[in-house]
Amino acid sequence: MNPASENSAADPHRWFVFGALAAVYFFVLFHRVSTSVVAPDLIASFQTNATALGLMSSMYFYAYALEQPLVGHLSDRLGPRRVVGCWSLVAALGCVIFGLAPSITWAAIGRGLIGFGVGGVYVPALKAFSQWFRLKEFSTMVGLLMAIGNMGAIVATTPLALSSRAFGWRMSFFLIAAITLSLALVVLLFTRDYHSADGSDKNHADTPMEKAVTSRRQIRFILTSIKFWVLFLIFFGIYGIFVTLQGLWATPYLMSVLHADRLQASQLNMALPIGFTLGAPLFGWIADRFHTRKRQLFIGLLTAIVIFWLVLSLRAQTLDIKEGVVLFFLMGAITGGWLAVLWALIREITPAEGMGFIAGVMNPAPFFGIAVFQVLTGAVLDHVGRIDGVYPPEAFQAAFWVCTLAAVVCLLLSFMIMKTRRVSDRVPENN
C-alpha cells in the first residue's frame, strides 16, 4: 500500500463522509419513486391524466441527467463536499415549490428543481469513495450506498402513504424540504474532502502510470470505446424500466390488479426497494472478490432480469399477492446487484483521477431512460384507456411488454462487451 492509501484508510473521517453522503443519497432515491405513492393525489389535485403525470415526473430525470457531465467535472475540480452541499440546497427549494404548486406546470418546475438538486449527489459520492477507500473496497462501498439509498425508496412507499394520509402530500414535501436543508448544512459544515499527505486532492492511487492514464487522450479513448457506449445503452434501458415500475406505476398497478387501497399497494411496492437494498451490497461484495468474473456475472444478472419482466408481463392480469411480493423482491435484488456490477465494470476501465468526469458522462443514461419510459408507458396506458377512471390490468400489461422488450434488447447488447481489462491504476497493493 502506498502512503496516501494508508493515510486515507486509517482516517476515521472517511466513515463520517460515507455516512453524510449516504444520508443525502437516502432522499435522492426517496424523490425518485415518491410520485408513485402520491400519484392518485396528484391526478386528483391537478385534474390531469397519466401522460401529463408521466411528463411532470420525468422533469426530475431530465434535469438530473442533463447536468451529470457538469457535476462530474465540478466534483473533480471543486471536490465532492461543495457540490453535494450546494446542490442539496437547490433540492430543498424544489421540495418547497412542489408542495406549493397550484398546477401541474408548477409541480413540474418543482420536480425539475428537485431533480437538478439531487443530481449533484451520486457522482460526487463516487468521486469521494475513489479517494477515501481502497480500489478493492470500491464496489462494496457503492453497493452499501445504493442499499442505504433504497431505504429511502422504502420510506417513499408505506411511510409516505401514511404521512400523506395524515398530513396531506403537500405538508409531507415541506417536511422533506426541511430535512434536505439540514443535511446540506451538515455536509458543508462538518465534512471535508480528501487531501493526500502532500496536501493535494489527488486520489490515493496516484502513480506516474496513473497520471499518464488520466491525460485527455486517455479519457477521450474511454469515451470513444464501444464498450463504454454499450454499457451506457444498457444502463439507459434496464434502470429506466426498473424505476418506471418502482417510481411511477407499481402502486397504481397493484391497486388496479389486486383492488388494494393505496396503503396496501404501497406496502407491496416495498418489496422492490427491500430486494434492491439487499442485492446491491451482496453483489457489490461478490464483484470485488471475484473481479475476473464480472462480465459473466453481469450477463447472468441481466438474463434473470429479462425472466422476471417476462413473468410480470405474462401474469400482469392474474398476479396474486404472494406471487407479486416474491416477484418484486427478486426483481429488486437482482437489479440492485446488476447495478453494483455495472459500476464495477465502469470503474475497471476508468482511471481513478477521472472517475468524476467519466461517471458524470455515464450517469445521465439511466435518467434519460427513466424519463423516456415513464412517458412511453404513460402513453401506452392512455392508449388502452381508463374504465370508470381507473386504468385496467390489460393497460398495465401492455406497458410491461414494452419494458420487457427493452430488457431483451439490453441483454443482447451485453454480449458485445469484451472482457474488461485493468487500467493502470490497478497497482498491486501489499495489504
pLDDT tens digit sequence for 363-380: 888 878 987 898 899 889
Residue 67 maps to a domain: yes
Residue 427 maps to a domain: no
Mean pLDDT of the chain, nearest integer: 81
Distance CA 247, CA 381 (A): 16
Cα 299-300-304 angle, rounded to 5 deg: 115
Residue 429 maps to a domain: no
Assign residue 34 the CATH number of its domain: 1.20.1250.20
Helix (H, G, I), strand (E, B) or coil at 194: coil
Mean pLDDT lowest for which of 191-205, 216-230, 323-337?
A: 191-205
Q: Distances from the Cα of 103 to the Cαs of 48, 53, 336, 365, in angstroms?
A: 10, 11, 35, 29
Does the pLDDT of residue 191 top 90, yes or no?
no
Residue 420 maps to a domain: no
Q: Distances from the Cα of 89 to the Cαs of 56, 82, 93, 170, 182, in angstroms?
A: 21, 11, 6, 19, 9
The pLDDT > 90 percentage for the chain reads 26
Does the pLDDT of residue 206 top 70, yes or no?
no
Residue 323 belongs to domain spanning: 3-194+208-414
Q: What are the backbone dihedrals phi and psi of residue 379, each rounded to the nearest 5 degrees, phi first? A: -65, -40
Residue in 203, 181, 207, 196 with CA at minimum distance from that of residue 96: 181
Residue 152 maps to a domain: yes
Give the pLDDT mean for 175-201.
80
Question: Grid coordinates 400489461 are at which residue?
Answer: 397
Residue 431 maps to a domain: no
Q: Are 139 and 130 in contact (CB under 8 A)?
A: no
Residue 421 maps to a domain: no
Does the pLDDT of residue 25 top 70, yes or no?
yes
Residue 200 maps to a domain: no
Q: What is the pTM assigned to this prediction?
A: 0.72
Q: Which residues contact 94 (CB under 8 A, 6 or more apart)?
A: 110, 111, 112, 113, 114, 115, 116, 117
How many structural domains comprise the chain? 1
Does the pLDDT of residue 406 top 60, yes or no?
yes
How confident is the model at residue 287, as a pLDDT? 77
Does the pLDDT of residue 423 top 60, yes or no?
no
Highest averaged pLDDT of the listed ranges 97-106, 139-148, 162-171, 279-288: 97-106
Give the pLDDT mean for 283-309.
84
Q: Furthest-apart CA pair in the chain: how many Å?
A: 69
Q: Distances from the Cα of 344 to the Cαs of 94, 120, 414, in angstroms?
A: 32, 21, 15
